[in-house]
């Protein structure tokens, strides 16, 4: 028997009914009743399936992060269908990308022998599937293909350009990575993220990452500086965290620069680490909260500081 899961922000019931109607012309089977799509009704439909049935079609509704987990575990679909991604339950998901990520779980539950039917006209459906491949299966080539299709359909989606560049970096396809990340930089400077109310940040930093991987440390350092300058011009909720990471990456680029023998100004290199130390000093009244969120950067600062110190000693000989 083939278990089929249908999810999406709209059109789930109609799609489920149409699938069942078409399959019924050749096979005996069942479907979830009406618009009932909670885990309770999913279990009811699964238990109602009969030996010899050819199919069982389920409508799965998502009401917030994690809300599909139980239903997916019950259905274990061989075929997944995602109709679209919209603003349903916005108060629970907060962003459309979070909505897409939840619905993508249905696709990623499909076994190798199964398949998924996606709405290729919806860039968020494609990006949601790409994110699942990237995070859930480390399939960077597959994720890159879907992110590329997504930005074709939404050329102003700066965030997807950045994710596509990340995929190319991991695939070590630096030429393509630089091309798409420079488009992300243009969109960042134009304050276009592809998501209403969301400020895109990190495009210069992503370029710096690509350049550092190619040992172009001087160009990478310049990219990190440009991102630092950009963060000074915006009011972003995570600006403090972004600045810590930027100082860390900038310092790492200069470390590579010094180690490669192409940068001799130890004082400038160590000044970056000193700046990192300053942003790593929390308000004593918020130290516990700080350690929970930024503690990893404190340890990285120590590692970088030691590295700079050793390089300075070598340079002085």
CB burial readout 267-305, b (16+ within 10 A) else e: eebbebbeebeebbebeeeeeeebeeebeebbebbeebb
**CA geometry: angle 96, 102, 108, nearest 5 deg:** 130
CA dihedral 273, 297, 283, 225 (to 10 degrees): 50
Report, as an integer, the average pLDDT of 250-267. 72
- Give the mean model confidence (pLDDT) for residues 83-100: 79
pLDDT of residue 63: 86
- Is residue 145 predicted with pLDDT exceeding 70? yes
Taking the C-alpha atoms of residue 185 and residue 192, their distance in angstroms, rounded to an integer, is 10
pLDDT band for 293, please (50, 70, 90 cuts). Answer: very low
d(CA 273, CA 280): 10
Give me the mean pLDDT over the 121-142 stretch: 85
Domains, the chain: 1-119 (3.40.1190.10), 130-187 (1.25.40.10), 201-317 (1.25.40)
Angle between the N-to-C axes of helices 239-259 and 266-279, in degrees from 0 to 180, rounded to the nearest 10: 160
Q: Determine the pLDDT at residue 125.
A: 86
In percent, how much of the chain has pLDDT > 90? 35
- Is the pLDDT confidence value at 14 over 90? yes
Distance CA 166, CA 158 (A): 13
Please check the confidence at residue 206 and state whether its pLDDT lies above 50. yes
115: helix, coil or strand?
strand
- Cβ atoms of residues 208 and 224 within 8 Å: yes
For residue 204, what pLDDT band results from cuts at 50, 70 and 90?
Answer: very high
> Comparing 52-61, 84-93, 97-106, which segment has the lowest mean pLDDT?
84-93
Q: What CA–CA distance (Å, rounded) separates 107 from 125?
A: 11
Distance CA 162, CA 165 (A): 5
Nearest to 195, CA basis, from 157, 235, 145? 157
Q: If you average pLDDT over each of 11-20, 269-278, 280-289, which comes out highest?
A: 11-20
């Amino acid at each position: 028997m083939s278990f089929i899961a249908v999810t999406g922000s709209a059109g789930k019931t109609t799609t489920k009914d149409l699938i069942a109607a078409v399959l019924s012309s050749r096979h005996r089977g069942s479907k979830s009743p009406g618009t009932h799509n909670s885990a309770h009704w999913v279990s009811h439909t699964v238990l109602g399936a009969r030996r010899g049935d050819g199919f069982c079609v389920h409508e799965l509704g998502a009401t917030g992060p994690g809300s599909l987990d139980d239903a997916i575990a019950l259905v274990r679909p061989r075929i997944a269908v995602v109709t679209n991604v919209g603003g349903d339950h916005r108060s629970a998901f907060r962003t459309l990308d979070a909505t897409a990520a939840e619905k993508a779980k249905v696709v990623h539950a499909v076994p190798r022998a199964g398949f998924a039917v996606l709405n290729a006209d919806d860039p968020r459906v494609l990006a949601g599937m790409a994110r699942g491949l990237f995070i859930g299966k480390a399939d960077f080539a597959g994720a890159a293909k879907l992110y590329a299709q997504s930005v074709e359909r939404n050329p102003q989606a700066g965030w997807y350009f950045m994710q596509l560049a990340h995929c190319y970096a991991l695939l070590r396809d630096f030429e393509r990575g630089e091309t798409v990340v420079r488009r992300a930089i243009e969109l960042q400077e134009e304050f276009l993220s592809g998501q209403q109310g969301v400020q895109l940040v990190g495009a210069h930093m992503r370029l710096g990452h690509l350049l550092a991987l190619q040992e172009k440390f001087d160009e990478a350092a310049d990219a990190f500086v440009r991102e630092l300058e950009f963060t000074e011009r915006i009011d972003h909720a995570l600006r403090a965290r972004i600045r810590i990471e930027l100082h860390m990456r900038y310092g790492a680029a200069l470390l590579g620069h010094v180690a490669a023998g192409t940068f001799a100004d130890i004082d400038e290199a160590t000044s970056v680490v000193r700046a990192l130390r300053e942003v790593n000093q929390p308000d004593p009244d918020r130290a516990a909260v700080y350690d929970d969120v930024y503690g990893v950067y404190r340890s990285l600062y120590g590692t970088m500081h030691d590295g700079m110190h050793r390089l300075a000693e070598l340079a002085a000989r």
